[in-house]
Chains A and B, each alone.
Chain A
């Protein structure tokens, strides 16, 4: 049981970062559950049907998912705000239904025999991702992402290729979600499309918003709290979802910017100067 919690918290931390990366460039994605599914199924096919080791299967699946994300992102990222939410939600539905319709990966019954992922694998990956994101926050690239998020038109007038920045961020987020999906799948032994429904995507965005969208450490904190909180209030039984929902509403009212606030400009400037 403890191992499950450690595993799922780690997977959700990765997923939260996958949304955060996309959010850095100013786009919201409700499709990360779908990217997770593609990563999970893709890696699953590679390990079970082609006999590849997991360490090869997951990166290949992640690259494939990144390519898929970028191809979809190119037209999808022309939309913004609520329209982008609708488009990415549509992607999530399409992918889930497509997987259900493919007998090769088991259709609605799912895929079995996926093994090899341990909870500590996820945390090593999460550590590496966290380190990379922290390094990113000290490079000029962070400022370019900030500019695109703040005002696309101004960013363009400064000389930034905003389309490129947004598509790369989307692809990177898709790849991260795919890695989380691959690890998750190979821990679960069996996966089916229900594991990657639209609710997964919604929850992940929720982790990020609750943790703090403007701080690198906000999304993992939100993911950890939101994954473990339902377990802590397990004693409430049927009331659990209601209490969980109320906690979310209260959190948003009390800390609308998330648990961790925006990095202050002073702190960012200091980081930049050191870096």
Chain B
């Protein structure tokens, strides 16, 4: 932890024209840490991740990835430097096969792992994908597509994994499966920042968490700590 954090976000402001989706947001993610940002629908979670991976420009503030400002760096170059953003809605290529989806995430970012080894690691974690390797990704179930999206992080481990709503649209059983896979990532020492509407799943998983409300960070703490304070959760998130 003596090193600079993998990700530093300092007072950023992001908007779509006159609408300010993120008004004031600062957070840190240290190496090997798993951090969640939770918030209601429309709190600005997706916007926050898009700003970090430079899919959206900043209006103010600064974002540093691996000690360097992301200003002026393009999304695909950040990706090659190890910032892997798994967008909302899985982000798999529906008309490509499972194998091709894994292959392309392995081949466009530089890695030292041989493809056969990477593939074997993916299939060990997700045996379902091995069965369906020749199938088009679009024909997989929602849960399997999420597995495939996560498989990218195994095929080619990133320095920072950004996950946008990994539980979106999944059945409770599949949500549990997805978080089981994420816990293994955590055990591997992967650095993860995820945003979630599913507050309980995210807080149980993350070591630290921030609460985002209408574009502002309004509270932070350990996952367990925030979970133990139902009044505050209710106040900020309007949930039980």
| B101 to A, closest residue via Cβ | A147
Q: A144-B108, A265-B134, A265-B135 are in contact. Are A156 and B100 (CB under 8 A)?
A: no
- The answer to whether B95 touches A146, judged by C-beta atoms less than 8 angstroms apart, is yes
Tell me, rounded to whole Å, the shortest Cβ–Cβ distance linking B20 to chain A: 22
Q: Count of B residues near A, CB < 8 Å?
A: 32
| B107 to A, closest residue via Cβ | A140
Tell me, rounded to whole Å, the shortest Cβ–Cβ distance linking A148 to chain B: 10
Q: Is B104 an interface residue (CB 8 A)?
A: yes
Inter-chain contacts of A245 with B (CB < 8 A): none
Report the bound CA distance from A272 to B133 in whole Å.
14
Q: Is A231 an interface residue (CB 8 A)?
A: no
- The answer to whether A144 touches B76, judged by C-beta atoms less than 8 angstroms apart, is no
Q: Is B91 an interface residue (CB 8 A)?
A: yes
Q: Which of B31-39, B80-88, B170-178, B184-192 contacts its partner?
A: B80-88
- The answer to whether A159 touches B108, judged by C-beta atoms less than 8 angstroms apart, is yes
Q: Is B96 an interface residue (CB 8 A)?
A: yes
- The answer to whether B100 touches A143, judged by C-beta atoms less than 8 angstroms apart, is yes
Q: Count of A residues near B, CB < 8 Å?
A: 23
- The answer to whether B97 touches A268, judged by C-beta atoms less than 8 angstroms apart, is yes
Contact with B along A112-156 (1 / 0, CB 8 A): 000000000000000000000000000010011011001101101
- The answer to whether B55 touches A153, judged by C-beta atoms less than 8 angstroms apart, is yes
Contact count A vs B, C-beta below 8 Å: 84
Inter-chain contacts of B135 with A (CB < 8 A): 265
Q: A153-B55, A157-B53 are in contact. Are A268 and B100 (CB under 8 A)?
A: yes
Q: Which of A241-275 contact B (CB under 8 A)?
A: 262, 265-266, 268-269, 272
B residues within 8 Å of A by Cβ? Answer: 53, 55, 74-77, 79-80, 84-87, 91-97, 99-100, 103-105, 107-109, 133-136, 152
Given contacts A153-B91, A269-B99, could you give 13 more A-B pairs where the C-beta distance is less than 8 Å? A143-B100, A144-B108, A154-B93, A156-B75, A157-B53, A157-B86, A158-B104, A159-B77, A161-B76, A265-B97, A265-B100, A269-B133, A269-B134
Q: List 29 A-B contacts (CB under 8 A).
A: A143-B103, A143-B104, A143-B107, A144-B108, A146-B100, A147-B93, A150-B94, A153-B87, A156-B79, A157-B53, A157-B76, A157-B85, A158-B104, A158-B108, A159-B76, A159-B108, A160-B76, A161-B76, A265-B96, A265-B97, A265-B100, A265-B136, A266-B97, A266-B134, A268-B97, A268-B100, A269-B97, A269-B99, A272-B103
